[in-house]
A and B are shown apart, each in its own frame.
Chain A
Amino acid sequence: MRQAQQIRLSAAEETLIAQLKGAGADSTAERISVAGLPTRRVESYHYTDLKTLLRTVPPLAEAANAAEAPALRIAGAYQLTIVNGRLQAAPSAPAGVVVGTAAGDVLSPRDDVLVHINSALAPESLNLHIDGVIEQVIHIDRRSDGPAAHSASAVKIFVAESAKVTIIETFLGSNEAHVGNHATFLAVGTGAEVTHITVDLSARAATHFASNQYEIGPAANLRTLAIHAGAALSRTQLFARFSGEGAHADFTGLNLVDDGKHCDITLDVNHAVPNTTSKEMFKQIARGRSKAVFQGRIVVSRDAQKTDAKMMMQGLMLSDEAEILSKPELEIYADDVVCGHGSTCGELDADWLFYLMSRGIPRTEAETMLVRGFLAEVLDPIKDEALSTVLNGIVDGWLLNGK
């Protein structure tokens, strides 16, 4: 038998191991005991060294009795609230939406510690089945309430053939050093049209981990938007797989990072079948001493001919101490495809700023206009008016906070 090399475990790792063992996830516990949390030597965590960044893991979350009033409301939306991993009493669902719960564990097994932890610790999963055209926006409000806690939550969504739906998930919590580990599995049926938005609005003291898995069926159309505007340490992982021909997806995201924060969006898209297209557009804005990370990998399988995929990362630095990191990767095994990627990074354009100011617009307002302009490409495709108002409000709130 191979002898495992002894590593020095951090307090966070010790706590995690105990929590995983308590949940019966011995193999995951064992793995962390042997290898520890991923460090920068692990390729997919190169820019987000969890062993260093995750200092403490609070006790496992207890069930909350009753949810406090929602901190964020989207006008006209059908709202479901999950507190500390458990679905709260659900209002009656709109026609075409079936709400249920099941045992946790919604993500497909994958060699990733955050996925393993979620699968081991999520107490239950909210299951949604969507059929038909749902006019009402569905808002899944996930919260960590009470004292600082490690909480896992899971959502599994099936969108039936030809259905249409817009779903936003928001992550909020009490002002404590929570560690949230959230998962969403979303299957998009044949010809269905889905918009899926996740927004981290956790307290600054908190840590936010989320893993979204997308299975995209034939002729489906998916738009995703992941926004980080909360926790000081956050990582959203997007795992997408095209499993039916003729489908298109836009994967978009926004890292709003300010002083003392580290936000990471990691994307892994697999074009597994022929004739699918995707566009990836990620924007990062960093100010103060902060770090924004985007890793994007597009894998085109051997049979996936006629794949068309274009990935772009654009960074905007608002301070000299900010870091914006981007790692785009293409892995192409088919020979008849169109794939590309690009990254740009810069400051606000001085000539643009001068032009706006020369027309009477004061500097801060001009800067805000340019930042909004920079983000428009990602936010404008969200057509629902109430939703668009909320998203723009989140961005404006972030901009104002920095002034």
Chain B
Amino acid sequence: MTTPILEIRNLHARIEDREILKGVNLVIPAGEVHAVMGRNGSGKSTLSYVLAGKEDYEITEGEVLIDGEDLLAMEPAERAAAGVFLAFQYPIEIPGVATMTFLKAALNAQRKARGEGELSTPDFMRAVRQAGSDLNIDSEMLKRPLNVGFSGGEKKRAEVLQMALLQPKMCILDETDSGLDIDALQVVSRGVNALRNAGRSMLVITHYQRLLNHIVPDVVHVFSDGRIVESGDKDLALQLEAKGYADFDNAAA
């Protein structure tokens, strides 16, 4: 059997005294898109932050492997170089850091960590143009400080641009549809779908089914009270939308 891109085994995590993840098990093979659905406060976003390496959480049990490597032992930057990319629900605005400077630093840091050479400025510019071509990202946006003054839609498009540029193998999309109107949702989804391929896996975290009409998952998981309580194909999402999460809460109990 080939090694899955992501393997989560019995993951428990807490913030201060509150346990949020209570035994998550999830295997995502290469090329598959998995959706995690759950109501607010069920721990979905925590899962994404724990995978990306945010410091606020304490892992109390379990393990996570990326391509068979121990993900939890890595610093956030090492995780990125190993192929993990978190598209933030609320991308951070950083005044004083130019978007292009940031993109170049990120790309070259990852290349360096993987033992590849740094890109020359013309090659880098070409890569950015290519990554942004389907996302309606104009050069004015790239001249601004990172995410500063971007609209909600622009921020999400910028996240997908970063994803396209950095070419991660494990994309985690945290509520990517939040704050998007229908048009923006289509642009962003198209950008994400363009990145689907046999070597890349995705974990799509969402509250609503509508995103999954655009990014059609291979597997849908229902998340409740810190763990996965049900898994199925894409029809599970429709079932959830119709019935709500209440039934699954019982399943978890």
> Measuring CB to CB, which residues of chain A are less than 8 angstroms from any residue of chain B?
350-352, 354-363, 365-366, 369-370, 372-377
- Residues of A within 8 Å of B101, CB to CB, are 369
How would residues 124 to 168 of chain B score, 1 for a CB under 8 Å from any chain A CB and 0 otherwise? 000000000000000000000100000000000000001000100
- Residues of B within 8 Å of A354, CB to CB, are 52-55, 76
- Report if B96 contacts A (CB, 8 A): yes
A292 to B187, alpha carbons, bound, how many Å? 49
- Report if B206 contacts A (CB, 8 A): no
Most chain A CB within a 10 A radius of its CB, from B52, B80, B97, B101: B97
- Residues of B within 8 Å of A372, CB to CB, are 96-97
With A355-B94, A357-B76 given, is the CB distance from A362 to B102 under 8 Å? no
- Residues of A within 8 Å of B55, CB to CB, are 350, 354
- Residues of B within 8 Å of A365, CB to CB, are 105, 109
- Report if B26 contacts A (CB, 8 A): no
- Residues of A within 8 Å of B96, CB to CB, are 370, 372-377
Contact B52 A361 (CB under 8 A): no
Sampled A-B contacts (30; CB under 8 Å): A351-B92, A352-B92, A352-B94, A354-B76, A355-B91, A356-B102, A357-B75, A357-B77, A357-B80, A358-B52, A358-B79, A358-B80, A359-B109, A359-B162, A359-B166, A360-B77, A360-B106, A360-B113, A361-B102, A361-B109, A362-B75, A363-B75, A366-B77, A369-B105, A370-B94, A370-B96, A370-B97, A372-B96, A373-B145, A376-B96
Contact B76 A358 (CB under 8 A): yes
A365 to B102, alpha carbons, bound, how many Å? 11
A290 to B125, alpha carbons, bound, how many Å? 42
- Report if B95 contacts A (CB, 8 A): yes
Contact B94 A360 (CB under 8 A): no
A366 to B77, alpha carbons, bound, how many Å? 10
- Report if B28 contacts A (CB, 8 A): no
Contact B110 A360 (CB under 8 A): yes
Docked complex: B160-216 residues within 8 A CB-CB of A: 162, 166
- Report if B88 contacts A (CB, 8 A): yes
- Residues of A within 8 Å of B113, CB to CB, are 360
- Report if B86 contacts A (CB, 8 A): yes
With A351-B92, A355-B88, A370-B94 given, is the CB distance from A360 to B75 under 8 Å? no
- Residues of B within 8 Å of A357, CB to CB, are 53, 75-77, 80
Most chain B CB within a 10 A radius of its CB, from A357, A375, A376: A357
Going nearest first, the 3 A-B pairs with the smallest beta carbon separation are: A373-B96, A360-B80, A360-B110
Apart from A358-B80, A361-B109, A362-B77: 5 A-B pairs, beta carbons within 8 A: A350-B55, A362-B109, A365-B109, A372-B96, A372-B97
Nearest opposing residue in chain B for A354, CB measure: B54
A363 to B80, alpha carbons, bound, how many Å? 12
Contact B109 A360 (CB under 8 A): yes
Say how far B132's CB is from chain A's closest CB, in angstroms. Answer: 16
A352 to B102, alpha carbons, bound, how many Å? 12
- Report if B33 contacts A (CB, 8 A): no
A305 to B220, alpha carbons, bound, how many Å? 68
Contact A358 B95 (CB under 8 A): no
- Report if B81 contacts A (CB, 8 A): yes
